[in-house]
Amino acid sequence: MGLHEYRLETGREGFYAITGKISEAIAESGVLEGLCVIFSPHTTAGIAINENADPDVRYDLLLGLRNAFPEQPGFRHGEGNSTAHLRAGAVGGSQTVIVRDGKPLLGVWQDIYFCEFDGPRQRRFFVKVM
């Protein structure tokens, strides 16, 4: 029913391009015009769409997110990864893209990324096309 699951291994933190997998899932679904939802079932990793050209942008995104959501003396969560929960929430746990002519409708500078904030881990994400 147009549902795909993918797995990946992540490092400590990072943006991992997954646009190729999304294109593959859409092609396999046979849907030509519709919607595609990419969903992370994790609470310290999310899905983002951002620039694909200069890898320094991903470096700056990680730096800017750490700066916006730093460790707080008042944090209570014993696992010590609350900033990862905050950063995953800020980028969002899913993205929705439009499907046109059997492909994801993205801008020329856009790629879809799996965003790890609390690795290294075995992670997965789901792609639903309809």
Chain contacts with its own copies (rule: CB under 8 A) = 1-3, 33-35, 37, 39-43, 48-51, 54, 56-57, 59-61, 63-65, 67-70, 72, 74-79, 82-83, 85-86, 88-98, 100, 105-110, 126, 128, 130
Contact 37, 58 (CB under 8 A): no
Least spacing, CB of residue 127 vs its own copies, in Å: 9
Sheet holding 103-104, edge to edge: 3-9, 122-129, 34-39, 94-100, 103-104
Cα 95 to Cα 15, 61, 70, 102, distances in angstroms: 14, 17, 24, 18
Nearer to its own copies, 24 or 126 (CB): 126
Least spacing, CB of residue 41 vs its own copies, in Å: 3
